[in-house]
Amino acid sequence: MRAPDLLRFARDAATGNPLRTVLLVLAMAIGVAAVVVLTALGDGARRYVIDEFSSIGSNLVIVLPGRSQTGGFNPGNAITNTPRDLTVDDAEALLRAPAVKNVSPIAVGTSEISVGGRLREVMVAGTTAEYTQVRKLDMAQGRFLAAGDWRRGASEAVIGATVRNEMFGSEPALGRLVRVGDRRLRIVGVLAASGQGLGMNTDEIVFVPVALAQQMFNSNTLFRVLVEAKSREAIEPAKAQVTEIVKVRHDGEEDVTVITQDAVLATFDRLLGALTLGVAGIAAISLAVAGILVMNVMLVSVTQRTAEIGLLKALGATGGTIRAAFLTEAGMLSLAGALFGYALGHAGAALIRHLYPAFPAWPPAWAVIAGLGTALVTGLVFGVLPARRAARLDPVQALSKR
């Protein structure tokens, strides 16, 4: 049988029973669409998180007060398990590490900012002049906090873009006096809008000198110390040196957690990559179900068309021709379902991107190829058994069926 005839024969056989064909194509399409949409979600989540973390700066080492994991018995633990404060002095000491380029301490708290009768709850971050270098932030107007002694802070503040818009609207903000908590501060700069980063939106933050923040919140400890290593290769040495310095300063007790941006990124990458694989696996189950459906439908089709198969044999069709006809039909249905599902899945992903523009819901290429491939292969694999059964039918018995 010629290939075009084979294709036409299979197509006619498939369209001869439209309901059966539509249901089968739909089942296959849902399977493929599920793979496309779910992997788009999973991979989109991965990219979203990676982008977020990449935007906080480069070559970052982050020091957090407290241990995130137990380090065995330490005599210090027997007396007290309260971690020592991570202080501004600790942060300053880190500058001595050879692999460290910049250090920026951060103390945070919430307070109220008021100007000209407007009042707003804001997050106040106490930091130093180095913060903009570490975080690679740009100024929209004015300057960032003045450099100088970390233990003494001028009464000045730098505000994020959102705070500026909400407090001042179209009026100029630079040079204005505002009240933050119980302090009167002068606005010396406005940050350029930057969006999300490290779980806090710098657009909605008021930056003040770290010493001022600690006085305002009556606290000695820092929220974080951001350390910028000299280069990408210096990240690991910087981490070790930072850990060692803090340990020495804290009477030999390692009571801080030091994480690197790369490690965080890699962890999220792995975590969300595994998540994507997981949802792809779940979606693949629906493909396998669709494959079994193909087999079931083709088996029913063989039974329904027994007399026809007997006739084809009587007319000179070989077993191979009949097998090819049924396999072509199964492959055709799977292909139609896979293509339909591919379109459906991309439409779904596009809809998600339309509804949540910040979320990069693009299905990864590997998932799309795997989804289409699996659909075709399952369709053909599950089509083999019915095709073989059809080819092996005894023509005499097949013809005697009405």
Partner 1 sequence: MAAPLIALSGIERVFHLGDSEVHALRRLDLQIDAGEYVAVMGPSGSGKSTLLNLLGLLDRPNAGSYRLEGRDVTTLSAEEQARVRSERIGFVFQSFHLVPRLTAAENVALPMTLAGIAPAERAARVAQAMQDYGLADRANHRPDELSGGQRQRVAIARATIMRPAVILADEPTGNLDRATGDEVVRLLEGLNAQGVTLIVVTHDAALGGRARRRLMMEDGALKHDSAT
d(CA 292, CA 381): 10
Residue 148: count of CB within 10 angstroms of its CB: 12
Binding to partner 1 by CB under 8 A, coded x per residue (else -) over 288-327, reads -------------------xx-xxxxxxxxxxxx------
> Taking the complex as a whole, how short is the minimal distance between the CB of residue 329 and partner 1, in angstroms?
12
Q: How far is the CB of 372 from partner 1 (least distance, A)?
A: 29
Q: How far, in Å, CA of 322 to CA of 252, rounded?
A: 81
Nearer to partner 1, 346 or 389 (CB): 389
Nearest distance in Å: CB 16, partner 1: 4
Binding status of residue 12 toward partner 1 by CB under 8 A: yes
| Beta carbon of residue 27, minimum distance to partner 1 (angstroms, whole number) | 23
Complex with partner 1: residue 2 or 354, whichever CB lies closer = 2
Q: Which is nearer to partner 1, 134 or 325 (CB)?
A: 325
Does 339 participate in binding partner 1 (rule CB under 8 A)?
no
Matching residue, tokens 């060692």: 244
Residue nearer to partner 1 on the CB measure, 231 or 318:
318
* The only residue of 5, 89, 138, 149 in contact with partner 1, by rule CB under 8 A: 5
Looking only at residues 369 through 398 of this chain, which bind partner 1 when binding is defined by CB under 8 A?
395-396
Q: Closest approach of Cβ 17 to partner 1, in Å?
A: 9
CB of 281 to partner 1, least distance (A): 40
DSSP structure string for 13-74: HHHTSHHHHHHHHHHHHHHHHHHHHHHHHHHHHHHHHHHHHHTT-SSEEEEEES-SS--S--
Residues 14-43 that bind partner 1 (CB under 8 A): 16
Contact track, partner 1, 144-183, x by CB under 8 A: ----------------------------------------
Interface with partner 1 in residues 252-281 (CB under 8 A):
none
- How far is residue 146 from each of residues 23, 67, 207, 226, measured CA to CA in Å? 70, 33, 11, 18
Strand runs labelled E in 151-253 = 156-159, 177-180, 183-191, 205-209, 224-229
Instruction: Say if residues 360 and 44 touch (Cβ distance below 8 Å).
Output: yes
Residue 82, SS3? Answer: coil
Closest contact distance (angstroms) between CB of 346 and partner 1 is 34
Site size with partner 1, rule: CB under 8 A: 26
- Buried/exposed 176-194: b ≥16 CB within 10 Å, e otherwise: bebebbebebebbbbbeeb
158 Cβ contact partners less than 8 Å away, ≥ 6 residues apart: 139, 142, 144, 145, 187, 188, 189, 190, 191, 206, 207, 208
Nearer to partner 1, 335 or 399 (CB): 399
Q: Given the complex with partner 1, which of 296 and 397 has the nearer CB atom?
A: 397
- Answer yes or no: are the C-beta atoms of 368 and 338 closer than 8 Å: no
Radius of gyration of the chain (CA): 33
Question: Least distance (Å) from partner 1 to the CB of residue 331?
Answer: 19
Asked whether position 359 contacts partner 1 by CB under 8 A, the answer is no
Instruction: Determine the longest span between alpha carbons in the chain, in angstroms.
Output: 102
Whole-Å CA distances, 343 to 195, 331, 367: 33, 18, 14
Nearer to partner 1, 6 or 140 (CB): 6
Q: Which is nearer to partner 1, 324 or 352 (CB)?
A: 324
> Contact residues for partner 1 (CB under 8 A)?
1-2, 4-5, 9, 12-13, 16, 307-308, 310-321, 395-396, 399, 402
